[in-house]
């Protein structure tokens, strides 16, 4: 029989690991612990029992027990997908879920994912432009450090600074 840890259950049900621990502490989800370091272990049977007893996840239990999904040993990504889908549909449909509702839900999620991808690609392009600008600055500073006479630059900057200070003093005197 397959066994799961808290992290795997949280991924399967698309919830926080602390929520799973709370279910275990409250007795809603049966678990065993061989050692403190080993953490909680949940059997497939205990998980199915919890899913059937919890309205939010009852649909997931039915799908996992009776449908095309052969068992809970399906990769975690499929479980996460189904858990998220059931949770999303459960929030909008209080009655039996129909194939059309699943289709609409999946189409909505596809559109949402495409939009997120476009936004992230836009952010990536902007970051790439910023990186390019920063690289150009870095190249200029590195070139200056390697090729310019820094003493001469310092003298020139100090001359300009003194000239600027004299101009400021002259303007103040003229104003008075």
Give the domain CATH number at 31. 1.10.1660
For residues 68, 70, 71 and 74, what is the CA-based torsion angle, rounded to 10 degrees? -90
Model pTM score: 0.41
Q: Specify the number of domains making up the chain.
A: 2
Domain that holds residue 32: 3-97
- β-partners of residue 43 are 3
Q: Are residues 7 and 82 in the same domain?
A: yes
Q: Are residues 51 and 79 in the same domain?
A: yes
Q: What integer best gives the mean pLDDT of the chain?
A: 81
Question: What distance, in Å, lies between the first and last C-alpha atoms of the chain?
Answer: 94
Specify the length of the chain in residues.
Answer: 176
pLDDT tens-digit series, residues 56-105: 776 676 666 654 334 444 444 445 555 566 666 666 665 677 788 778 87
Q: What is the pLDDT of residue 105?
A: 79
Residue 70's contacts (CB-CB under 8 Å, 6 or more residues apart) are none
Q: Are residues 125 and 68 in the same domain?
A: no
Whether 83 and 57 have beta carbons less than 8 Å apart is answered as: yes
More confident residue, 122 or 74: 122
**111 in any annotated domain:** no
**55 in any annotated domain:** yes
Q: Are residues 86 and 32 in the same domain?
A: yes
């Amino acid at each position: 029989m397959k066994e799961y840890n808290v992290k795997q259950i949280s991924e399967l049900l698309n919830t926080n690991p602390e929520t799973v621990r709370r279910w275990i502490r409250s007795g809603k989800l049966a678990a065993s612990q061989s050692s403190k370091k080993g953490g909680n272990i949940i059997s497939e049977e205990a998980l199915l029992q919890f899913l059937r007893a919890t309205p939010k996840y009852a649909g997931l239990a039915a799908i996992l027990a009776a449908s095309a999904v052969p068992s809970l040993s399906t990769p975690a990504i499929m479980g996460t997908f189904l858990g998220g889908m059931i949770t999303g549909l459960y929030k909008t449909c209080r009655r039996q879920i129909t194939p059309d509702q699943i289709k609409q839900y999946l189409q909505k999620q596809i559109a949402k994912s495409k939009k997120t991808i476009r936004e992230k690609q836009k952010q990536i392009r902007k970051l790439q432009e910023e990186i390019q600008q920063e690289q150009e600055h870095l190249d200029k500073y590195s070139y200056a450090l390697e090729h310019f006479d820094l003493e001469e630059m310092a003298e020139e900057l100090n001359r300009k600074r003194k000239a600027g200070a004299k101009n400021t003093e002259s303007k103040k005197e003229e104003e008075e």
